[in-house]
Amino acid sequence: MSTSPTISFIGAGNMASAIIGGMLDSGFQAADIWVSAPDDNHLQSIRKQFGVSVTTDNRYCAEQADMVVLAVKPQVMADVCRDIAPVVQNTRPLMVSIAAGLEAATLDEWLGGGLPLVRVMPNTPSLVGKGAAGLYANDQVKDKQKTMVESVFSSIGSALWVDEESLLHAVTALSGSGPAYFFLMLEALEEAATDAGIAGETARALAIQTMAGAAEMAGRSEHDPGQLKRNVMSPGGTTEQAIQTFEEGGLRDLVKKAYSAAYKRSGEMSKELANKQ
């Protein structure tokens, strides 16, 4: 593997574009990036935006790479993998899938077997450079390749490894679905504030900034969330009353139930997807 590895993206959707943009901002060179997709018009816009090389030929794109990022929808992944299998069996690149639900063994089988493969579960804040991705590597992946994957996905947020592939379902329920949980909280806070008389735009701006500030504090602090919560609370004060209401209303149990539902559904969807291929 060269000092500056060539990275090819099979698929040119929003997530691929976000990753490429983050890579370039982090110091990767456009000359080391290839992208393939069936729509040449879209590819030309990608080329103009990022300065990367593009092609409609998936096999040619994969042939250029030290690392191939499979960024297509799960429903077409089998056809894409089987198409490029003869090429990657010859060149032996690191394969990286960002498709939810498709297990490493299944992907490796479609690719001809025996390849180093990493599964990544990114989330939608990756589109604004604030993502949280869970990563799993099969036994063929070397430490140098793990470092390369980390450098790519750290360019759009944080990238953390899990030791067992099954834990990606837990990651899906946490950071994959998680943004929607916080959007629900924002929605509820905005509604409550507008009911109290604050203008809608003002309520939304205050709620968003409050959430962003709290997240920043949690990320920088040496304290756990429980202590940070207590730091905001004064005996008999407003925050204490609100937190007590949340606790009495069963918020913790509700969050656990919601998380468990997402976790269970992730596993079900993985099985459904495998049965359709």
Binding-site residues from annotation: 10-15, 58, 71-74
Binding residues for NADP(+): 10-15, 71-74
Q: Which residues does the annotation place in the binding site for NADPH?
A: 58
| Tokens read off for 120 | 């990544």
User: Is residue 171 within 8 Å of residue 98, measured between CB atoms?
Assistant: no
